[in-house]
Amino acid sequence: MFAATGQALAVDESFDVRVRYAILDEQGERLRTLDGEDVERFVNRARCECGTPIQAELQTEGAVGSAERTILGLLGNRCAGREAAEGRHGLCSLLFEEPAAAFRAGFSALFHPAFLGSYVASTQREAGSSYTALARGCEGEGEGGVWVCDPQADGAEGCQADDFVYDAEAAGELLRYDFEPPYELPYDLRAEPRWGGVQLRWSLPDSQDIAGFRVLCETEWQYSAELEFPAPARDAAADGTTYYTVDSVCGGQPQSLVKVAEDGLGICGDGRVDPGEECDEGYQNSDAGLCSDACELCVSPQMQRLDWSRVCSDFIAPDQTSVFIDGLIPGVTYHFALVAHDAAGNARALGRLASATVDDSGYYGGGAGGGSFCSVSSEGQVSWVMSLGLCSLLGWLRRRRSIELELRRGTL
């Protein structure tokens, strides 16, 4: 079990600390201990961006020695080494500062997932302080946890190498965090109209990080296809067959936030919508994508956020290169996006859309219907004829044609 007792170092053999991690339900009550697959896959980008709290639970087994002395809890990665380097590689945050006596009955401390993967970039180190700034936010992947230090053990100031009564790395009890969606994405996405639906095909990248795919779709008027594919449960352990978003985890309302030091790099095209961006700016943007190259949405905000209301396929295995999407309305044009996700449930969409009009003639073939803004070539590639200005008019066209779509739904 992940909550197994860690080995105390040589500071005080009587001070044996037990550390485990748990998550809370929506009411803030303890839900379960993180062990098994949770240790490897629970802490992902969506949960980090939501500020889903993780609870560290600490207790000693046996005596605590001098009950009045102060014990420190450091949070991050490689905390013992960072302390030994006196901050040259950045310092871990301070999670708690408690008398040794508190460990007899045990206590808990909450922290934001971002603290697992970053050192502090401010003079303030307390994890619970609004003045503490991290060097980075929900980025990167690795392992982190809690280190427990008895700074008075050797009589010297601060936490020296021999002062750590619990070293998470030495104990092998670390939480894995993965805040990065797949980087290498499929390419050459094609949509081929078929009777009763649309066949999608794509080419696979040379990537080991993709655990599977989902297809998102909506009509050219930015309406959901209304296919019932439910989002994973808020607190479910990732099983490699689904993905998580800020909307599915916390309804788009983060539970807590962390301050991140500004690096001034202005990274764009990182697979997410950052503050100040209407959509994800980056080199993969084009007028045939979720966003135009001027960062104007060519699809609905829901589809841009990879919202589960736009999911129109079940889980697709990582070695699969095609899927048939049915349940669509004949004669209606749909835009499709292919989403790749990793085992932790971090997702990223291929920047280029595919589009097709569902065949209603009873034979193979077809193409974009009258009045459509896009057509499908013989290879199924989207051929956009809209200008950047027209891309920004999609919202107006959606309202104008909503009545037509409802009539079509009611008569077919």
The alpha helices in 100-174, defined as continuous H runs, are 102-105, 168-171
- The answer to the question of residue 136 being in a domain is yes
- The answer to the question of residue 149 being in a domain is yes
- The answer to the question of residue 390 being in a domain is yes
Instruction: Indicate whether 154 and 21 sit together in one domain.
Output: yes
- The answer to the question of residue 306 being in a domain is yes
pLDDT at 268: 57
Instruction: Indicate whether 39 and 91 sit together in one domain.
Output: yes
Residues 6+ apart with CB under 8 A from 134: 93, 114, 115, 118, 119, 120, 121, 258, 259, 260, 261
**Strand residues in 150-279 grouped as ranges (E):** 164-166, 175-178, 187-194, 197-203, 212-219, 259-260
According to DSSP, residue 7 is labeled P
Instruction: Indicate whether 205 and 273 sit together in one domain.
Output: yes
Instruction: Indicate whether 197 and 174 sit together in one domain.
Output: no
> How far is Cα 177 from Cα 54, in angstroms, rounded to an integer?
12
Q: Which domain holds residue 117?
A: 17-178
- The answer to the question of residue 1 being in a domain is no
Q: Domain total for the chain? A: 2
Instruction: Indicate whether 249 and 119 sit together in one domain.
Output: no
Instruction: Indicate whether 56 and 199 sit together in one domain.
Output: no
> How far is Cα 289 from Cα 293, in angstroms, rounded to an integer?
9
Q: Of the candidates 156, 178, 200, which is a domain's last residue?
A: 178
Ramachandran category for residue 328: left, alpha or beta (phi over 0 → left; psi -120 to 50 → alpha): beta
Instruction: Indicate whether 293 and 232 sit together in one domain.
Output: yes
Let me know: does 30 contact 119? Beta carbons within 8 Å.
Answer: no
pLDDT at 278: 75
Instruction: Indicate whether 52 and 125 sit together in one domain.
Output: yes
Nearest by Cα to 119 from 131, 136, 141: 136
pLDDT at 42: 96
Nearest by Cα to 151 from 88, 87, 94, 89: 94
pLDDT at 367: 38
> The domain spanning residue 228 has which CATH number?
2.60.40.10
- The answer to the question of residue 36 being in a domain is yes
- The answer to the question of residue 150 being in a domain is yes
- The verdict on pTM exceeding 0.85 is no
Per-residue b or e along 292-330, where b marks 16 or more CB atoms closer than 10 Å to that residue's CB: bbeebbbbbebbbbbbbbbbbbebbebeeeebebeebbb
- The answer to the question of residue 5 being in a domain is no
Q: Of the candidates 137, 160, 178, which is a domain's last residue?
A: 178
Q: Of the candidates 119, 154, 178, which is a domain's last residue?
A: 178
Query: Count of CB atoms within 10 A of residue 101's CB?
Result: 14
Instruction: Indicate whether 100 and 198 sit together in one domain.
Output: no
Instruction: Indicate whether 297 and 249 sit together in one domain.
Output: yes
Q: What is the mean pLDDT of each run of 10 residues along the chain (412 residues)?
A: 36 72 94 94 96 96 79 95 85 95 93 97 94 94 96 75 89 94 94 94 95 97 93 92 96 90 59 72 78 84 94 98 96 96 96 92 44 31 34 43 47 45
Instruction: Indicate whether 222 and 109 sit together in one domain.
Output: no
For residue 160, with 0-12 CB atoms within 10 Å meaning exposed, 13-18 middle and 19 or more buried, which class applies?
A: middle
Instruction: Indicate whether 269 and 359 sit together in one domain.
Output: yes
